[in-house]
Structure 1
Amino acid sequence: MAQVISNSGHDDMIHDAVLDYYGRRLATCSSDKTIKIFEVDGDQHRLQETLKGHEGAVWCVSWAHPKFGTLLASSSYDGRVHIYRESPSTLPSTPATWSQVFASTLHTASVNMVSWAPPDLGCLLACASSDGQVSVLEFRDNQWGHTIFQAHGMGVNAVSWAPSGGLPGAIARKAGSDGQTGGVRRFVTGGSDNEVKVWQWDGQQSTYTQMLSLPDGHTDWVRDVAWSPTLLSKTYIASASQDKSVKIWTSTNPGDISSWQLATTLRDFGDAVLWRVSWSLSGNVLAVSGSDGKVSLWKENLKGTWECVREITE
C-alpha cells in the first residue's frame, strides 16, 4: 500500500533528486552510497528500489530519454559512472527489476556530474570529473563506447548539453538517408580553473574540441553550468560560482565563437556560495540555488535586464 514517507530512507546527506521524463519516478542519491527510486503518485512517494554498487558518495543521477528505455545514470566520488536499467516484469503480479548494465572506470578521481544528450543526437552521456577530464559514453550497435579528453586543468565540476537543433529559432532537422541526425554535438563545461568552456564534436579528429572559453568569466570555481534547452531567438548559457555570482551569456549563432557575449552578472545573493543553475523547459526562466538554502527565479524583461521574479526559502 502506498504511503506518504516523511523521510527519504537515506542514511546520509542527499546530493541530487531528479524526476523522470513523465514525472512518475523520483531518483535520489546520497553520501550513504545508494540510489533510491520512488514511484510518485500525487503527493505520495512509494520506495520502489534501492540501487547499490558505488563505493563512495553518489553526487548525481540522471534519467535517459524514454526512447532508450528506462535508464538511469549515476556518478560518484569513487570515480565510477554506473548505468542502471529497469526491465519490465514478465508476470503481472511481479514487479519490474533493476540491474546495473554498465560501469565506466575511465576516471581517476571523483565524477561530479553526468548529463544525457538530447535524444536525437543518440544515446550519449557526458561525465565531468575532478581528474580534469570529460568522458562521453555512447551506446551504439549494442555496446558502450567512449571518448575521453582533458577539459579543465584543476577538475571539471559540471557539464550541460546544447539543444540539438542548430541555430536559435530553428527546428531540429530530421535524420538524413544515412540515419545520422542533423544536430550538432555541443556542450558546456565548468571547472575549478574558474573557466566556462564550450566544446563541439570534431568528426575528423574523433573527439570533442574546445570552441571557446566564454569571455568575462568567474574569479573562483565554477560549480554548475546550464545551457538553455529551447531554441529561442537567442541561446543562453548560465553558470554558478564559488565567487557568489551567476553569469549569463547569450548568442544568436552558437557556432560562431565571436557571437558569444556576457549578458549579465547576477550578484544579489548575499554571502551565499552558488551551487546550481537550472533553466525552465521553456528556456526563459533561470532557477538559482546556493548554500543559504534559497532558490530564486530570474527572468529577462523586455529591456533585456534580468530580474528576480520569485524567491523560495526552506
Structure 2
Amino acid sequence: MASVSEDNLELQEIQKLEGHTDRVWGLAWNPTSGADGVPAVLASCSGDKTVKIWQKSPSTSSFHLKATIEETHTRTVRSCSWSPSGKLLATASFDATTAIWEQVGDDFECLATLEGHENEVKSVSWNASGSLLATCSRDKSIWIWEALPGNEFDCVSVLQGHTQDVKMVLWHPSEDILFSCSYDNTIKVWAEDGDSDDWHCVQTLKEANNGHSSTVWSISFNATGDKMVTSSDDLSIKVWGADIVRVQSGEGYAPWKHLCTLSGYHDRTVFSVHWSREGIISSGAADDAIRLFVENQDDLGDGPMYRLLSKKEKAHEQDVNCVQWGSKESGLLASSSDDCSVKIWKLGPRH
C-alpha cells in the first residue's frame, strides 16, 4: 500500500462484484485469508436472503463467486461475521434467527440456528477467542451466546438497556468487552462481573458527554484497541479513546472518552466506519460516497486529530451500507450498496 503520508492518493476501483438481486447490507473478510499466500475471501449478505462467498484468484488477482448460501434464512440477511479461526461464518437475519455455517468442501453446511430474538436480528459478532457470539435486534435486546463443544451454542445472557432498535454489536479486539449502538442515539459498553458472571452495562456514551445526537449505526476499533470510531445519522464520525493498558493489567474498567468529531464530510447518514490495520478510517454513507481519514501527525494540539486522506464521491449508484478493510497485506477495501453490488478498492497514487 502507498504511504498514507501522501496527499495525492485516491481510491481506485479494482473490481465490481455482481450477483446479488437486492441491496447488499453487510461484508466480512475471512480473517485467515489475504495473507501468507492464502487467497482473500469475502462474504456479502443481502436483502435477497442469500450470502455470497467471493474468493480472489491467485492467477488472475480478480475475485470470483465461490459459493452462495441460500437456504435457512427466509428474510433479509443483515449481517455476517467470520469466527477468528476463519472456520465458521455467522449470519444474522430479519427472520429473527442467526445461523452458524461451516465450509465443507466448496459448500457451506448449517451447524446451528440460534433462536430467541422476537424480530429482526441486525448484527452478529464473535469475540477475539471465538468462544462467545453476540447478536442484537430490533427487539432492543442483545444476546450473548457461548460456543460449546459439538457445535452447540448456549445463551448465557440477555442484555436489556437500550430503549430502541439495536443497530450493531462489536466485541473489543482483545478484551471480552462488548459494545453496542442503537436508534436511541447511544453506545453502550458491556462487561462481565467477575464475581457473579453476570453481564452488565458499565458505560453509556450519549449526547450529554459529546456523543451522537441521532441513531448510531456503526462501531470499529483501531488495531491496538485503545481507540474506537463511531458513525451516525447526525452525519458525524466520532473518535473515542480508552486506557486499554489499564484493562489488560487487571486494574479494572477504563472508561471511554470523546477525543474528536469529524463532521462536514458526508451530507447524509454515515452507515459504516471501519479502521484498517494501518490506521486509515473508512466511512460509507447514504450520499453514495466513501471517505478516508488518517491521524494528523503534524498536530501540535491537545489530542489526536484526523484529516481527510481521500474521497470518492460516487463510489456506488446508491447508499453505501458497509465498508470493510481486508488484511494489512492485501490493502483492499470492500464496499456494499443498495445498488446490489460489492466493490473492491485499493488506495493508490492519483492519476
Question: Which of 55, 77, 81 is the equivalent residue of 2:47?
Answer: 77
CA contact (8 A) 2:69 2:108 kept: no
Aligned position for 1:244: 185
Once the 2 structures are TM-superposed, how far is the Cα of residue 306 of structure 1 from its aligned partner? 2.7
| More relative contact order, 1 or 2 (CA 8 Å, 6+ apart) | 2
Matches within 5 A, 1:26-65: 43-65=9-31
> In structure 2, what is the equivalent of residue 306 of structure 1?
256
CA separation of 1:230/1:305 partners in 2, compared to 1, >3 Å: closer, same or farther?
closer
Q: CA deviation at 1:291?
A: 0.4
1:209 equivalenced with 2:154 (yes/no): yes
Tell me, in whole angstroms, the C-alpha distance in 2 between the residues paired with 1:77 and 1:199: 25
Name 1:295's counterpart in structure 2: 237
Contact 1:134 1:151 in 2 (8 A): no
Indicate yes or no: 2:88 matched with 1:132.
Answer: no
Equivalent of 2:78, from 112, 126, 137? 112
Deviations 1:176-196 (A, max 9, x none): xxxxxxxx5321111111001
User: What residue in structure 1 maps to residue 349 of structure 2?
Assistant: none
Q: Which ranges of structure 1 fall in alignment gaps of 5 or more residues?
A: 1-22, 25-41, 90-94, 165-183
Structure 1 residue 267, shift from structure 2 partner: 1.1
1:10-29 Cα offsets, whole Å, 9 max, x none, are xxxxxxxxxxxxx79xxxxx
Shift of 1:52: 1.0
**1:172 maps to which residue?**
none
Shift of 1:222: 0.3
The answer to whether the 8 Å contact 1:212/1:257 transfers is no
Check 1:186–1:100 CA distance in 2 against 1; reply closer, same or farther (3 A cut). same
Kindly state the Cα deviation for residue 270 of structure 1 after the two structures are TM-superposed: 5.2
- What is the alpha-carbon distance in structure 1 between the residues aligned to residue 64 and residue 26 of structure 2? 18
Mapping 1:82-231, distance limit 5 Å: 82-89=52-59, 95-105=60-70, 106-119=72-85, 122-140=86-104, 143-146=107-110, 147-164=112-129, 184-204=130-150, 206-214=151-159, 216-231=160-175
> Hey, what's the Cα distance between the residues in 1 that align with 2:164 and 2:51?
27
Aligned-pair distance for 1:104? 1.0
Aligned residues of 1:211 and 1:257 also touching (Cα < 8 A) = no
Does the 8 Å CA contact 2:67/2:106 hold for their aligned counterparts?
Answer: no
TM-score normalised to structure 2 length? 0.63
Q: Give, in whole Å, the separation in 1 of the partners of 2:190 and 2:103.
A: 32
Q: TM-score, normalised by structure 1?
A: 0.71
What root-mean-square deviation, in Å, do the aligned CA atoms of Structure 1 and Structure 2 show?
2.5
Q: What amino acid does structure 2 have at the position aligned with 1:139? A: Q
Q: 1:242, CA displacement in angstroms?
A: 0.6
Unaligned runs of 5+ in 2: 3-7, 247-252, 266-351
